[in-house]
């Protein structure tokens, strides 16, 4: 119940296309859902995050869509660029101050 399931494991998108990564969870006590971007040999960096009282949040080219009833959330990267090629992790947390639980990650390759 503490798991966050992420798909796909890898994704190849043409430059300018839309990248979509999905995550699903079981624990209804989760109340914070961030997405992180990680480049090889670096720590993860927060991209965008959402709380369950909001169905969508957009920041620049990055959008989180959240479906509370389905217990799913997704990351959309619009106008994908080669510089977006990285590993993306969804995560969830169930109460203030506790650690994040990460999905297994999606390796995105944006071809030019």
CA dist 6 and 88 (Å) reads 10
| Residue 102 binding another protein, by CB under 8 A | yes
CA dist 89 and 75 (Å) reads 10
Residues comprising the chain, all counted: 112
106 alpha carbon, distance to own chain's centre? 9
Among positions 46, 56, 58, 67, the unique one binding another protein when judged by CB under 8 A: 46
106 in Cβ contact with 6 (< 8 Å):
yes
Question: CB under 8 A: which stretch of 20-28, 54-62, 63-71, 94-102 binds another protein?
Answer: 94-102
| Residue 24 binding another protein, by CB under 8 A | no
Toward another protein, which CB reaches closer, 46 or 78?
46
The helix/strand/coil state of 93 is strand
Among positions 1, 69, 83, 99, the unique one binding another protein when judged by CB under 8 A: 99
Among positions 49, 52, 65, 72, the unique one binding another protein when judged by CB under 8 A: 49
Q: Are strands 62-67 and 86-92 parallel, antiparallel or unpaired?
A: unpaired
Positions touching another protein (CB under 8 A) are: 32, 34, 36, 41-46, 49, 51, 89, 96-105, 107
């Amino acid at each position: 119940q503490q798991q966050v399931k992420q798909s796909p494991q890898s994704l190849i998108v043409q430059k300018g296309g839309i990248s979509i990564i999905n995550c699903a969870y079981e624990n209804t006590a989760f109340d914070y859902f961030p997405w992180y971007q990680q480049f090889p040999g670096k720590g993860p960096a927060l991209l965008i995050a959402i709380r369950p009282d909001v169905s969508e949040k957009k920041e620049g080219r990055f959008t989180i869509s959240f479906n509370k009833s389905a217990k799913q959330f997704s990351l959309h990267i619009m106008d994908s660029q080669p510089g977006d090629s990285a590993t993306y992790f969804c995560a969830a947390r169930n109460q203030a101050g506790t650690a994040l639980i990460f999905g297994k990650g999606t390796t995105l390759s944006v071809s030019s």
